[in-house]
Amino acid sequence: MINKLTSLLKAATISLSDQQKNQLVGYVEMLHKWNKAYNLTSVRDPEQMLIRHIMDSIVVEPHLQGSRFIDVGTGPGLPGVPLAIVRPDAHFTLLDSLGKRIRFLKQVQHELKLVNIEPVQSRVEDFPAEPPFDGVISRAFASLNDMLNWCHHLPGEKGQFYALKGVVPDDELATLPAGFAVDRVVKLAVPQLEGERHLIVVNVTK
């Protein structure tokens, strides 16, 4: 698994320490183990998890600005856990409404000794952002419209929204709620992953 991850990282020109690689593989092993009972992801094969969960998450890291992030609808910790491993100096709140996912994330936090994640069980609209976040991240969480409407209270004055998408959702970009504007659309390259990946970055304008 370490060799497979190393070759994927090399293909993506991402440089990580041995400790970070071990943590990423450890996370995949936990995900694989817990998945049998908790059904955390539809991806069953650990090597596919490296591509479709780990690499798909960490290619976003260079585009994040700030040091306090919240991953809304994090599920089993995606993309928040891989991002927290590759950016240890930033803090990630992992928000999900399902207790079994938060129990899994607390075990991940304990076993991998991740001091920069905070798993929280809450509906996003009920969660107070004190203090506000530099970035609000979501992957396969909702439409852009829903994300902005439900999460509008989370970012600080210069905070941004980061939505991980497949193909560019032109219809969603054309109907953003008032008070928001697209900052940039970044095409992401994920080694060995079929299909397109894009990062949509949205600013608060009001």
**Is 80 within any annotated ligand binding site?**
no
Q: Cis (ω within 30 of 0) for the bond into 119?
A: no
Tokens linked to 117: 């994640």
Spell out the residues 6+ positions from residue 146 whose beta carbon is closer than 8 angstroms to its own: none
For helices 99-111 and 18-38, what crossing angle results, to 10°? 150
Measured distance CA(57)–CA(39) in Å, rounded? 20
**Is 125 within any annotated ligand binding site?**
yes
Measured distance CA(134)–CA(205) in Å, rounded? 15
**Is 59 within any annotated ligand binding site?**
no
**Is 61 within any annotated ligand binding site?**
no
List the strands of the sheet with 117-121, edge to edge: 117-121, 91-96, 68-72, 133-139, 155-165, 198-204, 180-187
3-state secondary structure 42-62: CCCCHHHHHHHHHHHHHCCHH
Measured distance CA(24)–CA(88) in Å, rounded? 13
**Is 99 within any annotated ligand binding site?**
no
Residue numbers belonging to the annotated binding site for S-adenosyl-L-methionine: 73, 78, 124-125, 139
Residue numbers belonging to the annotated binding site: 73, 78, 124-125, 139
